[in-house]
Amino acid sequence: MSAVSKFKDIFNNETKILILWTVPWNESLKNNEYYSSPKNSFWDIIWYVLEIDNFKEKDYNSKIELLLKHNIWLSDVISKANRKESSSLDSDIYDVQTHNLINLIKQLPNLKVIVFNWKKAYEIFTKEYPNFNKEFPNIELISLPSTSNSNARITKIEKSKEWKKYLSPFLE
């Protein structure tokens, strides 16, 4: 058994987009960075969405600064959980405690969309907050294809195009 917990929330008062994952993978936990696994295309997809070339060389803090500049918040729907030793799979997560996002969301008047980086994050969120759309009718909930390379149903470029299609209207 391995205990896992989410990273510190990264957002600013102008945040328009919240991107939620379930809980960090082991490699991300080891590096203390969102999406640090080479098995995840998150950063490549974000650079495509933001139309930024050659950003791979930048350090993690520069990546986060760029997200904040574009009013994007990263977080996890799970606050704490246990996961089978040496596994990064969400199917191996148990004893889940969800992240209390509502109080933070209430502080962000510009938040327009919550994007779920995988359907499991969407399922956990909507189960925890079944009345979210009633309480926050102006915030869209969008479940997008996982940026994980284990999601081989569609190619990275197809994922990138899908993410761009849904995020671009909120980046203006």
What would the pLDDT profile of 113-167 be if each residue is shown by its tens digit? 999 998 989 999 999 999 999 999 999 999 999 998 877 789 999 999 999 999 9
Supply the mean pLDDT for the chain: 87
Q: Mean per-residue pLDDT for 48-68? A: 85
pLDDT given at position 89: 62
Residues 83-106: tens digit of each pLDDT: 777 656 666 677 888 899 999 999
End-to-end CA distance of the chain: 44
Predicted confidence (pLDDT) at residue 110 exceeds the cutoff of 60: yes
pLDDT score of 41 more than 60: yes
Distance between alpha carbon 30 and the CA centroid of its chain, in Å? Answer: 18
- Give the mean model confidence (pLDDT) for residues 6-23: 88
pTM above 0.85, yes or no: yes
pLDDT at 34 (0 to 100): 87
Beta strands per DSSP E along 6-123: 17-21, 72-76, 78-83, 93-98, 113-117
Domain covering 2-170, topology: Uracil-DNA Glycosylase, subunit E (3.40.470)
The pair phi, psi for residue 54, each rounded to 5°, is 55, 45
Residue 46 has pLDDT above 70, yes or no: yes
Q: Give the per-residue pLDDT at 3.
A: 64
